[in-house]
Amino acid sequence: MDEKIGINIKEASEILGISKQLMTELTKLKDFPCIKFERRIVINKPQMVEWFNKNSGRIIV
């Protein structure tokens, strides 16, 4: 079976090496690749990695 594309906050934070709290804050950004289903957030893993690489060095407040 292929690797899954949609991941949750915990998995995404482990991949990027950041806290779950910071990952949750990133999902609030308009350009962050995620889909929100009521209280559940699904992050597109390949797009997240691309977004992270593109935004490296950017200061997010």
pLDDT tens digits for 13-27?
999 999 999 999 999
DSSP-derived 3-state class of residue 7:
strand
**Above 60 in pLDDT, residue 61?**
no
Residue 47 in contact with residue 35, Cβ under 8 Å? no
Q: pTM for the whole thing? A: 0.84
